[in-house]
Amino acid sequence: MDDRTLRLRRKYSRFRVLVMGKANAGKTTILQKVCNTTDQPTILNAQGQKIGLSAVAPSEERGVHNIEDEMIFAANPRYVFHDSRGFECGSTEEFNIIQDFIQSRGRERDLRKQLHVIWYCLPADNAGRLLTGAEARFFQQCDPGAVPVIAIYTKFEDFVLQTQEFLINEGVDEMDAFDQASVTASDRFSREYASIFGGMKFPPSRDVKLQRMYDMNEPETQCDELLEKTADALGNDTLRKLFVCIQQNNLDLCVKWGVKR
């Protein structure tokens, strides 16, 4: 690792991500894969005290959740994750909490507390209802400022199968329909469903379609596209290099952005 990278690491010690989206959208699995682990995170409150894992439990088991709580994985502790759980209920109070968090953390001058990116998980298995009313309100009213928002379409394999079924109903042979769906589903989704963001005041700056989430626990499965889109969306070159630095095993990302490990 060169001297410039070492200085960079001392200046920016942690990369902070706000994770948003519905319950059971695959958020925790994505974070585990990004951090190269299958372990559960440690949850810390605003005072740095360790608390229980209710923040990552199924919705019916959750206790009171605070957006200020930090989720940290031992495998890569330089990532700090916050979860906006509770937002999907659509209450004005929850919306205001999230909006205040994004705006205050986005402007935070203390680099250790600054918010760097928002990953918004949206399941693609029900593309016709891609956004709830609360989520549409977020993209219409919540100004993230300089903090980029990455839309992550999870469960995209289900949309591919739905596209296959659509083609079969149009008279295409089953096997040909699957081959065509594998190629065309992404463009169809962007054209027919993700286009809803075209009418939003604060649309995502990038998007990623993730398939086969049930394979995310396999060692060879990675979120490379998510990492690449995130690095690309970061407007600050120094911050981008920090982000690339903490991808401990991603040589391709380091080469692309000229960071020496």
Beta-bridged to residue 120, according to DSSP, are 20, 151
Range of the domain at 105: 3-155+201-256
CATH code, domain carrying 10: 3.40.50.300
Burial of 109 (0-12, 13-18, 19+ CB in 10 A): exposed
In a domain, 237, yes or no: yes
Q: In what order do the strands lie in the sheet with 15-21?
A: 50-51, 42-44, 70-72, 79-83, 15-21, 117-123, 149-154, 206-209
230 assigned to some structural domain = yes
Q: In this structure, is residue 151 part of a structural domain?
A: yes
Q: What are 238's two structure tokens?
A: 């120094």
Residue 169 lies in a domain: no
Q: Classify residue 191: in a domain, yes or no.
A: no
83 occurs within a structural domain: yes
Virtual CA dihedral for 212, 216, 221, 222, nearest 10 degrees?
100
The token duo for 245 is 């630095």
Tens-digit pLDDT profile for the chain (261 aa)? Answer: 555 555 555 556 789 999 998 877 888 889 988 888 889 999 998 888 888 765 455 444 444 568 999 999 999 999 999 998 656 566 788 888 999 999 999 998 887 889 999 999 999 999 889 998 889 999 999 999 999 999 999 999 999 999 999 999 999 999 999 999 999 999 999 999 999 999 999 999 999 999 875 555 555 455 888 999 999 999 888 888 888 888 766 767 776 776 655
Any domain includes 188: no
Structure tokens at 138: 């977020």
Distance CA 181, CA 175 (A): 10
Please report where in the chains the tokens 């990278």 appear, as a residue: 5
Domain count, the chain: 1
Does residue 179 sit within a domain? Answer: no
